[in-house]
Structure 1
Amino acid sequence: MQDARGSSRDVARVLAHVHGKNVRHADLSGRNLLLDADRRILLCDFAGSSINGQAATVVAEDGYRHPSESEYTGPTLRCEIHTLGSTMYEIITGKEPHHDSDKEAAGRLLEQGEYPDVSKVPLGEVVRKCWAGALESGAEVAQEISRCLNGIVGRQVWG
């Protein structure tokens, strides 16, 4: 599980780097992540991305994208952080959000504000904050994950 948590932090850091170059990926999910020989996360498939404020030509898939159409047509940072939360959920659980529903139904569930229960998912509170719009950047998400990981390590060492 430590690898999944670390990978989640790595995805957040990669996304922060991409955003720092004024790029919005627009289609973040596990299917657009690669691992290199050192098990570092690489983000791929920028074909439809927004660069320097240009409109993206793709949107994130149902079950990942922000439920508000006004958010994902940009795509906004809030939309990107929302899809980061869904991607983290996928990395940690090995399942897509609302994996028991078809894609369209998963999208409708998010539109209705119905998200998977993350109360028992490692880093679930960080995922929930991404979905709720409580975290504003990939760097902030990575910092939040680091705080959680430091707390986990501290509890393991100190009792």
Structure 2
Amino acid sequence: MSSPFLDLDGNPINGDEILGYGRAGLVVLRENIAVKMPLRYRSSQDSDVETNREVLQHEKEVYQRLGQCEGVVPCNGFSETTIQLSFMANGDLRAYLNRNRPSRSLQLSWFQDMALTLARIHDRRVIVADIASRNFLLSDDLSIKFCDFTESSILHPDTDMENFNDNGYSIQTDIGQLGAVIYEVVTGKRCDFDLFKDQSSTISEPTWPRRESLPNVKDIWLGPIIDKCWTEGFFKNAEDVAKALDAITSQSLYLDDISKIPPEKESQSQYSNTPSAYNISMRHMVALSVVVGIITLYTTWVSRRR
């Protein structure tokens, strides 16, 4: 099948090979490896292709800084004009959500992995800057991986990440964008944490979006955590987000059963995942009564035998 793309030598690229493409890069499947190359249309100008080469070169440098970072799509090598990545069989998260409705337990495991991986990325002094559902990939076992670092910033190894701002981008804007991904997965509705919303064309520096420009999360699962991601500075770093999600896990006994509760009932508790203390206590009392009854019957039987 033909496609509108060419490789850098001017050869047509078969449409069946194409895994995806973005603003500056094209990803094709070759020998079970995802090969990312500069985007080139049949109609592209040489200057456009050169710009895309520079963008890809920058992304190579990001992957080199990250190394073998757990939670990032493994990078298997480079050529002068390509990045070779491990093939992720289930594609990108956004496309997966269009076809499937994952269980809450799977969602929560994704969110924990996202937050922990983001903390690792920040530890390597990289700001992602473009965290979106289309930029997460799913492997054959549905584990989730960060990909696409074309917009990322590589900072000095001694940078104080919690206080550093790179022309409007910071670990806080990464956390805000992560909150938008969590919202999209939980609700099935897309949400852009738009750092350029309502700005005039003369302003180019990203700014924190107004809260009223973001969705209401009052009655949705994990709404409090999403809202805190959208409150600049509430989470000091991505590790704090992971800890908040860990707290949800420790409280959640029946995630998939809870997902069947109507929203109006679900919203009565903060996280809507934990059976009430009253119900748990009643179960313990019933169990204790049964045990005491059995002991009493056994004691009576023994006495009569004697």
Q: Same fold (TM over 0.5)?
A: yes
Identical pairs, percent: 29
- Flag the structure with higher strand content: 2
Residue in structure 1 matching 2:187, options 93, 97, 112: 93
CA distance in 1, matches of 2:187, 2:137: 17
> Which residue, 103, 107, 120 being the options, matches 1:4?
107
Instruction: Sort the Cα spacing of 1:27 and 1:80 in 2 relative to 1 into closer, same or farther, 3 A.
Output: same
Q: CA RMSD in A?
A: 3.0
Aligned counterpart, 1:116: 215
Runs of 4+ in 1 over 6 A off after TM superposition: none
Q: Output aligned runs, 1:132-147, within 5 Å.
A: 132-133=231-232, 134-147=234-247
Residues 51 and 81 of structure 1: CA distance in aligned 2, closer, same or farther (over 3 Å): same
Alignment pair present for 1:40 and 2:138: no
The number of aligned residues is 140
Contact residue 112 and residue 246 of structure 2 kept, 8 A = yes
SS in structure 1 of the partner of residue 236 of structure 2: coil
- Give the 3-state SS of the residue equivalent to 2:110 in structure 1: helix
The answer for the alignment partner of 2:252 in structure 1 is 152
**Where do 5+ consecutive residues of structure 2 fail to align?**
1-103, 157-164, 199-207, 254-272, 281-306
Partner SS for 1:132? coil
> If the length of structure 1 is used for normalisation, what is the TM-score?
0.75
Contact 2:129 2:153 survives alignment (8 Å): yes
Letter in 2 for 1:13: L
TM-score by length of 2: 0.41
| Higher share of residues assigned helix | 1
Whole-angstrom distance in 1 between the partners of 2:166 and 2:211: 16
What is the rounded CA distance, in whole Å, between the counterparts of 1:39 and 1:29 in structure 2?
A: 17
Counterpart among 149, 161, 175 of residue 81 in structure 1: 175
Question: Structure 2 residue aligned with 1:20, among 120, 123, 131?
Answer: 123
